[in-house]
Amino acid sequence: MTLSLRDLAVARGGVPVLSGVSFDVAPGTALILRGPNGAGKTTLLRTIAGLQAPLSGQITGAEDTIAYAGHADGLKAMLNVAENLTFWAEVFGRKDISEAIETYQLEPLRDRLAGTLSAGQKRRLGLARLMVTGRPIWVLDEPTVSLDAEAVGMFARAVTRHLAGGGLALIATHIDLGIAAQTFDITPFRAMPDDRSGASDEAFL
Amino acid sequence: MIALLRRDLMLAFRAGGGFGLGLAFFLIVTILVPFSVGPQSDLLGTIAPGVLWLGALLACLLSLDRLLALDFEDGTLDLLATAPLPLEAALSVKALSHWLTTGLPLVLAAPVLGVMLNLAPSGFVWLVSSLAVGTPALSVIGTFGAALTVGIKRGGLLMSLLVLPLYVPTLIFGAEVARRGAQGLDPVTSLLLLGGITCATIALMPFASAAVLRMTLR
């Protein structure tokens, strides 16, 4: 299962932000996306995850294979850690949450309500959710926000193990994760201002 | 799907989940009506079916705000949209859990409140059956309204305006069943029409809701 993008153009709020993006991510490898704030990393990842349609171009290998983690973790404050994880496992048709709990050392927090966790602990729970989905492609948007160095290490180990198991990962981040991966800078693909789709002003000139 | 239903019900019953909000509103409206209208029991009996239906409808409307907005804010909707569960199914489950936590309690509370409004004895069966048949449509249409306004801050007002016209047929036929039942006339035709509206909305609305939600998630 290779994730391929061909000449992809994406828009945010109707304004094109990226165009001509092409890359492949093979099984067992990770790709780190880099680019300054506002470059379109989140928009690109949301498009790949299927949350919005591309302006043009093709994405292959993304059908029902993606586990997406955005800025929000999708946790319910009034459910405890185990209930939150079990819910997401069941949505993806699975049951076992013990590996995710162990990897992110959530055992001591297992019965705490998610609303009472610290920001970093919530983030760990949100990342643990990826492991219970069983999906081969992880699409992660700034996964290490509010994590301490130790938790970043847990995350790096989780990604490494995921890759060793034949999975692949696409990660937008600003920091060095300590994962062996290629880097892809999206800055050169910034869409030209006159590159907007459906702009037919020329026809009237 | 069962996981989603169970989670929604669990959240509704835990502290701050909003269970009982609609029910409490329904109680307050129907308790206050005799005070505002006055103690003429024959007048109260005449307006009882309409007041009970109106109260139930507004109680449903009141709780729609939270139906999808909370899941949108914490990112659950984004994640659900990428899950294997089709969005249509997820929204049907959402509507079902809304009905179980809002519509069903209203149906069960209605006979008690009917007594307070001096509803004619022959009307009770028809009031309960009309609410039981009609309130699912309110939940399903409400889910559509919630999906339409989910990305908008303070979208409650807009949603009420959008949803109210869609509620009108259900209100007309629902109140008609209860009124005819209370007056001893034959309410079966209205009940069948009400059932038809409910069946049609349950069959079609989830597709509309999912299409609209995909657009608002962008």
For residues A127 and A99, state if they share a domain.
yes
Q: What is the pLDDT of residues A81-125, one digit of tens each?
A: 999 999 999 888 888 888 888 888 888 888 899 889 999 899 999
pLDDT in tens, B164-190: 999 999 999 999 999 999 988 999 999
A77 and A109 both lie in a single domain: yes
- Residue B92 reports pLDDT greater than 90: yes
Residue A154: domain span: 1-65+136-192
Does A197 score more than 70 pLDDT? no
B75 to A68: CB separation less than 8 angstroms, yes or no: no
Around Cβ A86, how many Cβ atoms within 10 Å? 20
* Alpha-carbon gap, residue A155 to A176, rounded angstroms: 12
Residue A202 lies in a domain: no
Output the pLDDT for position A201: 46
- Which of A51, A83, A129 has the CB atom closest to B81's CB atom? A51
Q: Residue B153 corresponds to which tokens in the numbers above?
A: 């801050």
> A52–B218: do the CB atoms touch at under 8 Å?
yes
Same domain membership, residue A80 and residue A42: no
Q: Is the pLDDT of residue A199 over 80?
A: no
Q: pLDDT at position A203, please?
A: 45
Burial of B2 (0-12, 13-18, 19+ CB in 10 A): exposed
Task: Judge if A140 and A115 occupy the same domain.
Answer: no
pTM above 0.95, yes or no: no
Please tell me whether residues A54 and A39 are part of one structural domain.
yes
How much is the pLDDT for B17?
65
Contact B180, B172 (CB under 8 A): no
Q: How far is A9 from chain B (nearest CA, A)?
A: 15
Q: Same domain for A8 and A59?
A: yes
Q: How many domains does chain A have?
A: 2
Residue with tokens 């301490």: A148
Both A99 and A131 in a single domain?
yes
Count of C-beta atoms within a 10 Å radius of residue A68? 26
Quote the pLDDT of residue B89: 93
> Is A198 contained in some domain?
no
- Which residues have C-beta within 8 Å of that of residue B58, sequence separation ≥ 6? B25, B29
pLDDT tens-digit profile of A33-91?
988 888 888 899 999 998 888 888 888 888 888 899 988 888 888 889 999 999 999 88
Q: What is the CATH number of the domain that holds A176?
A: 3.40.50.300
> Cβ(A115)–Cβ(A78) under 8 Å?
yes
Same domain, A55 and A2: yes
Does A50 map to a domain? Answer: yes
What chain B residue is nearest to A94 in terms of C-alpha separation?
B3
Amino acid at the residue A54: P
Q: Say if residue A59 is in the same domain as residue A147.
A: yes
Question: Cα separation of A160 and A28, whole Å?
Answer: 9
Mean pLDDT of the region B4-32: 84
Q: Does residue A204 carry a pLDDT above 50? A: no
The pLDDT value given to residue A194: 55
Which sequence spans correspond to the domains of chain B?
2-217
Q: Per residue in B147-170, pLDDT tens?
A: 999 888 888 888 999 999 999 999
Q: Is residue A163 part of a domain?
A: yes
Check whether residue A61 and residue A14 sit in a common domain.
yes
Cα(B111)–Cα(B130) distance, rounded to whole angstroms?
Answer: 12
In a domain, A205, yes or no: no
* A200: confidence class by pLDDT, cuts 50, 70, 90: very low
Contacts of A91 in chain B (CB under 8 A): 3-4, 80, 83-85
